[in-house]
Amino acid sequence: MAVWLAEQVGPKGRVVATDLNTTYLQRIDLPNLEVLEHDILDDSLEALGPGSFDLVCSRLMLFHLVNRQEHAIRRMAECLRPGGWLIDEDADWGTCAPVDPAHPLYDGYQRGWRHGDWWTVRGYDKAFGRRLPALFDRCGLEDIRHEAATEAVRGGSDWARWWAVTLEVMNEQGGGDKSDRREVQVMATALADRTVWFLRELLHACWGRRPA
């Protein structure tokens, strides 16, 4: 996203990319891109320039900040100039499951996944994305629009392989025990099977404007 935005604004524009860990961002060498290590929740906004941005965007970040998303949105909105736009893309992760109850691997996956509660107990908000327009509204943004999309994909697809690795990483970070690892293996078996179709995460995009 940082590279794409830098390409859109051109040589006379300026993009600021922030993260808690800027290891990957530091690899980008573009004259109109500035990289800052910054915590939107707790660090001062002065380093960013409150009230100065035409556009502030985040992607697949807020769902990590359980119960603090509104605070983050409010602070991002403070960085906008009057009339500037905030856009966020976040997902509902509870939808990531097989679609056909008749498939022999369906029940095993669902027992482990528990309609996304497997994700929730590890500290993530499985259904955050749908709340974005309400949070934007509470933070004083106007002209709010919201879209959501998903797709069904086969086991063994690029997404399925990515999702299997993601489950393993989340399980390890969440301190999973042997029982949890068995659940991951059951889900990974289904994700590798090309006869199983999965509904992906429901990806939400919401945008709103700071009042002029």
> What confidence tier does 173 reach under pLDDT thresholds 50, 70, 90?
confident
Q: So what's the pLDDT on residue 124? A: 86
Q: Is the distance from CB of 210 to CB of 82 less than 8 angstroms?
A: yes
pLDDT at 3: 95
Residue 34's H or E segment, with its range, is: strand 33-37
> Residue 84 above 90 pLDDT?
yes
DSSP H helical ranges for 114-198: 117-120, 132-138, 158-173, 178-191
What average pLDDT does this structure show over 42-67?
94
Residues 6 or more apart in contact with residue 134 via CB below 8 angstroms: none
- Residue 96: which pLDDT band, with cuts at 50, 70 and 90? very high
Report the CATH fold assignment for 38-209.
Rossmann fold (3.40.50)
Q: Which residues of 159-190 are buried (b: 16+ CB within 10 A; e: fewer)?
A: bbeebbeebbebbeeeebeeebeebbebbbeb
For residues 57 and 46, give the distance between their C-alpha atoms in angstroms, rounded to a whole number. Answer: 18
Structure letter (DSSP) for residue 43:
S
Q: What average pLDDT does this structure show over 194-210? A: 98
Any idea how long the chain is? 212
Q: Tell me, what's the pLDDT at 180?
A: 84
What pLDDT sits at residue 177? Answer: 78
Cα 84 from chain centre: 22
Domain positions in the chain are: 38-209
Extract the tokens encoding 2: 């940082």
Query: What pLDDT does 57 receive?
Result: 97
> DSSP assignment, residue 148?
E
